[in-house]
Structure 1
Amino acid sequence: MRSLLILRHGEAGHSFSGDDHARTLTSHGEQQARQVGSWLRDSGLVPDATICSDAMRTRQTCIWVNEQLGEKAPTAYLDDRLYLAAPRQVLSVINETPETVQSLLVVAHMPGVQEVSMELASVYSEEDPVIRMAGSWPTAGVAHLQFDKPWAELDGRDARLVAFQVPGS
């Protein structure tokens, strides 16, 4: 069974220069990312690989998550296609994952993270996490989906949502 972890970046500050791509995490966002890393570690969900948007706030989220994962943390692969990507673009990036990877963490942005997760969640998903995920996706929210097909064939309604974790909840 493969695991797909889809994470929205931690809380970011405002851009006074107008450069959204360069926005950084707030101290609260750093704390959120650490909490996600602790949850992943404590749940035994340390990913084999991480794909991260190249925006500053997602890169910083990866740094703080990985700090909690320790030595087992994979080096994040930065992919500019994830920056403010539509759900089909996010899925396209996921579909390129090598078959040797059993667990993938994707760190990206709203609304793409929510929309692709809803698109992938099958009818066999846990009801409560689906309802919470559909209602709102706070910063540093992470969806955990499981499936048993190749990454390249992941398309829609073919992954079981087993958890939706939000720091502090």
Structure 2
Amino acid sequence: MSQHHLKRLMLLRHAKAEFPFGVADHDRPLATRGTREAPSAGAWMMANGWIPDYILCSDALRARSTCAWVSSELGEKGPTPYQDSRVYGASATQLVSLINETPETVSTLLVLGHLPTVQEVAMALASVESEEEPVMELATRYPTLGLTLLETQKPWAELDGRDARVTGFVVPRP
């Protein structure tokens, strides 16, 4: 078996969104609180050295807005986010398939999406070597700006189930 480099995966739920009357779910904007809190996810990544070199983002407005705030905090270190309409409404299996498409040159991947999918993917990928406390936290509740941190030796294309070690779960709000 060939030796693969450690890969890091971050699963981020978008910041707090509004539920305006008559607006399609896909077009829901961030709430004032979401706009205020979203940059702290990027600030947390910078402060903790989890800087993505690839960002896969839902094309829903609230996810794109969260991504813009995160990217503003990452500055020059952050990659240009890739918006994929398939992330919005994806099942856990479909989202893992999108993660499988990630180029092997990517060492840290940020996926910015929605409930319940980000939570289901985190649970599906969590290996038996995962840290117990963050797994229990993310399984119990996955609030807005919930961020699961996973590590794996597997190639992105082979990531399937129980292949990544959950090392943390944070809600980086100010």
Q: TM-score, normalization: structure 2?
A: 0.94
Which amino acid is 1:95 matched to?
N
Matches within 5 A, 1:10-29: 10-29=15-34
After TM superposition, the runs of 4+ consecutive aligned structure 1 residues lying more than 2 A away are none
Deviations 1:30-73 (A, max 9, x none): 22211111110000111000000000000000000111111111
2:66 alignment partner, one of 53, 57, 61 = 61
Q: What is residue 163 of structure 1 aligned with on the other side?
A: 168
Q: Give the aligned CA root-mean-square deviation in angstroms.
A: 1.0
1:140 alignment partner, one of 133, 140, 145 = 145
Task: Give percent identity, aligned residues only.
Answer: 51
Deviations 1:100-121 (A, max 9, x none): 0000000000000000100000
Which amino acid is 1:146 matched to?
E
Q: What is residue 88 of structure 1 aligned with on the other side?
A: 93
Q: Where does the alignment leave 5 or more consecutive residues of structure 2 unmatched? A: 1-5
Secondary structure (helix, strand or coil) at the match of 2:163 reads: coil
Which amino acid is 1:94 matched to?
I
Q: What is residue 131 of structure 1 aligned with on the other side?
A: 136
Structure 1 residue 84: deviation in Å? 2.2
Secondary structure (helix, strand or coil) at the match of 1:146 reads: strand
Q: What is residue 14 of structure 2 aligned with on the other side?
A: 9
Structure 1 residue 85: deviation in Å? 1.4
Q: What is residue 3 of structure 2 aligned with on the other side?
A: none
Q: What is residue 47 of structure 2 aligned with on the other side?
A: 42
Structure 1 residue 26: deviation in Å? 1.1
The CA distance in 1 between the partners of 2:172 and 2:29, in whole Å, is: 19
Secondary structure (helix, strand or coil) at the match of 2:42 reads: helix
Q: Where does the alignment leave 5 or more consecutive residues of structure 1 unmatched? A: none
The CA distance in 2 between the partners of 1:41 and 1:26, in whole Å, is: 24
Are 1:7 and 1:143, in contact at CA under 8 Å, matched by a contact in 2?
yes
Are 1:84 and 1:110, in contact at CA under 8 Å, matched by a contact in 2?
no
Are 2:43 and 2:74, in contact at CA under 8 Å, matched by a contact in 1?
yes
Q: TM-score, normalization: structure 1?
A: 0.97
